[in-house]
Amino acid sequence: MLKVYSLLTVFFLSLQADAYSQTVAFDPERWEIRAEESRVVDHLGRKSLFLKGGVAAVKNAQFTDGVIEFDISFTEERGFMGAVWRMQDFENYEEFYLRPHQSGQPDANQYQPVFNGLTAWQLYYGDGYAALVRYDFNQWFHVKIVVSGKNAEIYIEDMEKPALFVNELKRDTRSGRVGLSAGNFAPVHFSNFSYATNTPTLKGKAKTPEPMPAGTIMSWQISNAFGEKSLERKHQLTPADKEKLTWTTLNCEASGTANLARLQGLREGRNTVFARLDSI
């Protein structure tokens, strides 16, 4: 009897290690917030986080795969609010946000990767990145994000049927922090934030990408960044100009997209790069 109890205990502890779940209260010691505005307030009968223009990250969180859940409340104003995960720092993470002003439209929400502080919604749109959803305004509703490997499912109000299946998460599958985000336009209220780390089973399946046409360029050499003013009234690079350049290979995604932000962001005096072919 003692041996059976011991085995069951080990099995239980193993399950606990594989599936960690917690609700995170909006207490200052639990969150690191970098935002234009943030405060804990009562909203529609609940303690909530008011957030505008930034990101709130759970301190010491380690999330690779699992489930993120929260309640959200916003008005019909133009805004961009949602959640982040696998966050390496405040400039590198995966993100899903809702667009209240696009309620009922095909782009009512958006998945995007953020590389080096640059958002990428212009590159990733349509099927697999956004979905038509109608929102309820000025009241609480629930959002759930289920992440597994290179895919994710997004549930909005309906917790049985995903509103969106993200066909391919664009960043590397690396553990990072989780949190909440809000753009610089309308503010948002969040409540009941929780996350679980496990390996969930997704209801959808990733689509096989369409092959690119023959001759599509799938790899580029990208230079270090420099200021565009250095090219004013210049029509040809001098040997001295070329000596200042260093080159990094950037492989394209399956769609043929080359997201330059993977290599570097925008900085003062560093807003331009050259791209060249490996070979012709």
Number of residues assigned to the chain: 280
Residue 162 lies in a domain: yes
In a domain, 4, yes or no: no
Residues 251 and 155 in one domain: no
Same-domain check for residues 136 and 29: yes
User: Which pLDDT band holds residue 278 (cuts at 50, 70, 90)?
Assistant: confident
Which structural domain range is residue 168 located in? Answer: 20-197
pLDDT at 280 over 90: no
Per-residue pLDDT of 63-87, as tens digits, reads: 999 999 999 999 999 999 999 999 9
pTM of the model: 0.90
**The domain that contains 133 carries what CATH number?**
2.60.120.560
**What is the pLDDT, as a whole number, of residue 19?**
63
- Residue 105 DSSP one-character state: S
The total number of structural domains that make up the chain: 2
Mean model confidence pLDDT for the chain: 92
Given a cut of 70, is residue 14 above it in pLDDT? no
Mean pLDDT, residues 84-103 taken together: 98
User: How far are the Cα atoms of 121, 232, 235, 240, 273 from residue 270, in angstroms, in the given order?
Assistant: 22, 15, 20, 18, 8
Q: pLDDT tens-digit profile of 143-175?
A: 999 999 999 999 999 999 999 999 999 999 999
Domain membership of residue 11 (yes or no) is no
pLDDT at 97 over 50: yes
SS3 helix, strand, coil % of the chain, rounded to 5? Answer: 10, 40, 45
* Cα radius of gyration (the chain): 22
**H or E element, residue 10:** helix 2-18
Closest CA to 35 of 88, 84, 76: 84
Question: Predicted confidence band at 20 (pLDDT cuts at 50, 70, 90)?
Answer: confident
63 with 122, same domain? Answer: yes
| Count of helix runs (H) and strand runs (E) in the chain | 2, 15
Residue 3: predicted pLDDT: 43
DSSP letter assigned to residue 231: G
Q: What is the pLDDT of residue 279?
A: 62
- Mean pLDDT across the stretch 102-122? 97
pLDDT at 209: 86
Same-domain status, 123 and 251? no
Whether residue 177 sits in one domain with residue 107: yes
Q: Give the domain-ending residue among 165, 197, 229.
A: 197
**Alpha carbons within 13 A on the beta-carbon side of 85:** 28
Position 139 in a domain: yes
